Structures are given as structure tokens and as C-alpha cells.
Amino acid sequence: MSTSLHTGPDGTAPDASGTETGGDGRAGSKRDRKKYESRPLSRKFLGMQHWQMISGLLVLYDILAVNLSYFLALWIRFDCTYSRIGRTYMNAWLSFAGFYTVVCLLVFWLLRLYKSVWRFASFNELSRVLLSSVITGAFHVVGITFMYRRMPIAYYCIGIFLQTGMVLGVRFSYRFILLMKSKKGSPRGRVMIIGAGAAGQMILREIQAAREIQDKVCCIIDDNPNKWNRFVNDVPVVGGRDHILAAVEKYKIDKILLAIPSATAEQKRDILDICKETECELKSLPGMYQLVTGKVSLSHMQNVSVEDLLGREPIRADMEEVFNFLNGKTVLVTGGGGSIGSELCRQIAAHNPKCLIIFDVYENNAYSIQLELKEKYPALHLETLIGSVRDSRRMFEIMDRFRPDVVYHAAAHKHVPLMEDSPCEAIKNNAIGTYKTAYAAMVHGCQRFVLVSTDKAVNPTNIMGASKRLCEMIIQSFDAKIKAGKADEIPQLFTHVGIENADKDGTGNVFRNIKTEFVAVRFGNVLGSNGSVIPIFRKQIEKGGPVTVTHPDIIRYFMTIPEAVSLVLLAGTYARGGEIFVLDMGSPVKIVTLARNLIRLSGYVPDKDIKIEYSGLRPGEKLYEEKLMAEEGLRKTDNDLIHIGCPIPFDTDVFLSKLEALMLAAYSNKANIFELVEDMVSTYHHSPALENQLPPVPKEKKHMNDDV
């Protein structure tokens, strides 16, 4: 039994099972199907499809048009007076009309002029109509001349011209009527496009062609003076970036589309700095990739993110070298469910490790990244394990079972104010957890151990930063002992005696030929990570404000998650032992400026639509973060934006001897934990009494637009 497949009244089509689907492929409801089935004659008449009826009418029209055009040509040739047309000319036209009509219909049919969807007619349809006119015009000249008589030259020329216009006009008039209909009414949005290049022109054509898009492109901005005062698809190029504000006011623009995928981060930031003063909605084409692959369309325009305003090119790491190092290796990622850890897992999984082990104490995050990687890389040998880095027995079990070649240690407590209230937890998880994980990795043959650190470890004023500095000192101590051939002098820390004792037989053989290389990676705040300031600001803006900033002068370095992960992976490749890798994160950004920019990018006016309030520095919080301590110094790597800090010398024996007391104090939740940490980290100064102070801000100026 055959099934007739045809479109419904709204352009949808039933699938093979008879279920009507919409444009997105979803099955229609029973009510929709009944509605469709109840109107079977809306698209059929006497057994013909709708398009067949239209084609039949076009055939009748063409029969009239091709003959009328040459009659009118004869009439015009003789001064638009019928009585002056010679009888021989009239008889020749009448006698040739039947032959000519049949040939025209055959040519039109061969060139598919009766099967095109004329509502979407384009240059392809135009070229086929013109070709049909050339062919039929040539036949008319030759046929009527040799079969009957030579006609006036004006008859041939005017006839071909009129036939082309009549055949073309009726077909393109349908699209023209639909276009005019779509233009009726005021547009929903008035748009400015920045960039008159290839990407900008593609976006412009899509807006103008799409019926469902009611926006109107009013003007184009381009920095090339050669394009100024000229038109692209009837839209004027009004000037460069200096004309943006004036053009927005003149054309009443409410939406700006940045379509310069080749622009550098700094150029994009400069343009957006101007645009964000306009209160317009901003969207941007992400990059050159969309232009190269042809994926330039409105669907690829994204809301301008605050990252675009940072004005720094992303890190371009030589990832081929990194992944050659990881290929075929067993890799363990602690904290693998977190923002940094999960991105590490994604990038490692994409480059053929022998085995990837996700280790996290929080099962929801671990399960989420496990599902993602299993779906994307079904052939990947993936292990997802739950546990705490503070549990030395668990760490020994995992290291003994899998013998990882590389460990990326991203597990840590990172929230500064929370750790100030629970300092012993910061020490247990960050410092002691790092120590136990590093020790287990060392005695089980790990090649590289990479610690994920933070710029808060530099001259720390909070316990979180101090605990991360302790982590750096731990891996530097491990590295120094291993290079000196004294790995057996590294004390093993645990609060119980168990199976994880490394030197079980007491011979010390386990400490011979240890070659583990320990390094740390230090970077600033990660945009989009758990607990970062941007998501917090977005939620506050969605609620209508206020946006809370701790201090008007507080500044931070920022980087993206992919950049942070690239640096962590590079550390594993460049490591020779004991280094602290540091990313050149460009210029620091004032948090209040970040907040104002985000408010503007959301379409609001700071301090008018959304208030900014200052809450004061939280316990342990600094006005600014430092990338390196003054005494550390820097060495360059092959990547100009990645540096190596020279280790600060300290007495490793004294440091290691104090760790057990620190551990016991933390597990006993002793109140003097701050003093013990200060004794071990010379650059740490805990002074909570000074950190909650906020410079006096006059009440009448507290919400004023004091942009910085």
C-alpha cells in the first residue's frame, strides 16, 4: 500500500508512521493531526497537489505571456496603432504562435520553471528564466524568419524584452509580495552591525531575508574609511568606531551586533568599551572559526560576555606537545568533578590516555562528568572513584591499584570567607590532603605530580591562601629530598597505623630510584568556575539588584577555565621538578568595573536600574592579589605568557618536622591553628581586625555612578 506524503497547511510534514512533525522534528499532537486531516482539500483539488495547481496556472499564464509579448512588440513597432500593422506581419505572427508556444513550454519545463519554489526564488531561478528567454528568443528569430518572413528588428528586440519581463515578473512577484508583507509594521528592533566584512554581510543578508526576524538593520560601522558613505544591501556604512555613539542616537539603535571575528581581544574590548555606554543589547560573533567553516549566522551570535572586556588574548599553548606526553599514560585527576578538574578530564580524555581516573569526594559532580565523558568517548578506559584526599589508606589503595603515571591534584577547599570560619578544614583538606596524595604517588612510581595552586598563596592574608602556600612548600620539599636522594627522610603522615605504611618490610627499598617530579601551577580567579564572582553578579542582576561589591578599589586577575587547564597541562610537560608555573594574566581588573560592565551588557544602567552596594572586605580578603612574591623572580618558558618562579629557599627539614604537629592541631580543631600556620609560612600575616574596614563613602555618593 502506497502512502502519499505531502505537507500540511503550516508547512509541516507527516513522518513515515503518519505522525505530523514540526520544523524541530517533534511529533504533533492528536488535535493537530485531526485538524490537518479535517482539511484534506486545503492542499488538494481534484487529486492534484497544491504546487501542481500553481504550475498549471503558470502554464496558462505563459501561453498568454509569450504570445502577447510579441503582439505588443508588433504593436509598439507600428507606433501603437493597430491599423498600421501590415497584414503580412500579422499573419506571420498568428501562424507562428502555435509552434512558438509549444517550444516555449517545452523549454520552460526542461529548465524546471514549473517545479521551483518561487517564494524562495534566488539568483539560480533568475539565471534559468534568463536562459529560457535567450533560447526561445533565438528560436523565434530563426523560426519565424525562415518559415514565414523577416520581421522588423524592433519586433525581435522588443518581443524578447517583454517576454522576459512578463515571465520573470509573475514568478518573482510572489516573493516580492511576501517580502513587502513581512516589512509591514514597525520592526521589533533597530540594529547596528559593526563590521562590513564577509561576516557582517552574511549577518545582514540573513536579517533582511528572514521573515520571522522583525529587526531592521539601520546602519553599519567599519573602521575602513574606504567603505564610509557607501551602501551594503541598501544599508549605509556611516563611519568608524568613533561614530558609534552618534549613530546609535541618530538611528535610534537598540541592538548592536559585533561581526568582526578576526578582531583581537584588545580591539574587541576597545569597541565594546564604546558600545557598553549606549544601553543597547550587545551580541558578538565568537571568532574566525565560524567564518572559516561557513557557520556565520544569527544563531551563532552570542551575548557579549564580560570576558570580552578583559582585553587579553587567550593563552595559545602547544597542546600537541602536552598530549603527546599524555598519550598512553594512566592519569589521575583529584577533584575531577570540580570546574578545573572536570575541564582537565575533558581535555585529557580527548587525547588517548591509557586510563583516566576521576577522583572526587562529591559524587554528584563526579557522576556528571563521568556521564559526559562516557557519551563522548565510549572507547575511553574511564574509572570514577569517590573518596577524600585526606584518607591516606584510600589514596594508597588507589595508587597501588592503578599506578598512575601522572597526577593532577585539583582537589581543594577554595572559598576564602568559608575557610576563615573553618580554618582547620582548610589545613586538613588542602595541606595535609596534598601531602598524603603526593606521598602515595611518590612511593607508587608516579612520574609527574602537578599541584593546582592559586595567586592567593602569594603573601597570603587568609587561611585558604596560606594553606595553598603550604601545599607549594610541600611539593618543593618533596622535590628537594628526591633530588638529594633522601626520599626516605620524608615523614609519612597519618593519624592511624594501617596498611598504607610505605616501608612495610623496613628495608627502605621502596624509597630507592624514586624519580617523581613535583611542580605547582599558580593562577588567578577563573571566570565561570564554582563560586566565581561573575555567576554571583548575574544572579543579582536577574533579581533586579543590588549588585554587591566588597570594596570600590578591589582588583583581581582573571583567566578562563580552558586557559587555566592549558597551564596545568603544560606544567606536566615542562616539569623538571620544584617549579612554580605562573601565567602572565595581563592587567588586573577592578571588580566594581567588572560589575558595571556586566550590568550594562545586561541592558541596564548602573546605579540607575541596578544599584551597586559596597559590603566591605570579608575576613581574610585582600584588595589585590599578587602573582609572585617579590623575592621569587621569573624565568621564561617557550610560551611568552608562561613563566617559572624560582623557589624561595627554606629549611625543608624544619618545615617537614612541623607538619605533623600542624596536622594533629588541625584534626584536634585547635584554636591556635592560625598561629601555627604563621610560624610555618613566613609570608602569611593573619590580621582579621583590619580586613573588614571599608573606606568611608558618603551616603549621598554611595550609589552614584563613580565608574573607575
Using a pLDDT cut of 90, give the percent of the chain over it. 26
Express each pLDDT in 218-242 by its tens digit. 999 998 888 888 888 888 999 988 8
Name the more confident of 312 and 515.
Answer: 515
pLDDT of residue 698: 38
Query: Domain ranges in the chain?
Result: 49-182, 190-304, 324-526+558-584+627-686
Rounded to an integer, the average pLDDT of 72-93 is 85
What is the maximum alpha-carbon separation in the chain? 127
Closest residue by Cα to residue 547 from 557, 533, 560, 566: 533
C-alpha 601/C-alpha 105 separation (Å) is 58
Query: Does this chain's domain 190-304 share its CATH topology with 324-526+558-584+627-686?
Result: yes
Q: Is the pLDDT of residue 263 over 90?
A: no
C-alpha 412/C-alpha 415 separation (Å) is 9
Average pLDDT along the chain: 78
C-alpha 658/C-alpha 443 separation (Å) is 22
pLDDT band at 318 (very low <50, low <70, confident <90, very high): low
CB 475 within 8 A of CB 434: yes
Three-state DSSP class for residue 61: helix
pLDDT band at 415 (very low <50, low <70, confident <90, very high): confident
C-alpha 664/C-alpha 589 separation (Å) is 40
Express each pLDDT in 159-181 by its tens digit. 889 988 888 877 777 666 666 65
Superfamily of structural domain 190-304: NAD(P)-binding Rossmann-like Domain (3.40.50.720)
Name the more confident of 368 and 31.
Answer: 368
Radius of gyration of the chain (CA): 37
CATH of 324-526+558-584+627-686, one of 3.40.50.720, 3.40.50.2000, 1.20.1730.10, 3.40.50.300: 3.40.50.720
Rounded to an integer, the average pLDDT of 180-207 is 74
Task: Name the strand (E) or helix (H) holding 678.
Answer: helix 673-680
E strands, 598-657, in order: 612-614, 634-636, 642-645
pLDDT of residue 499: 63
Whole-angstrom CA distances from 252 to 28, 83, 303 are 41, 60, 20
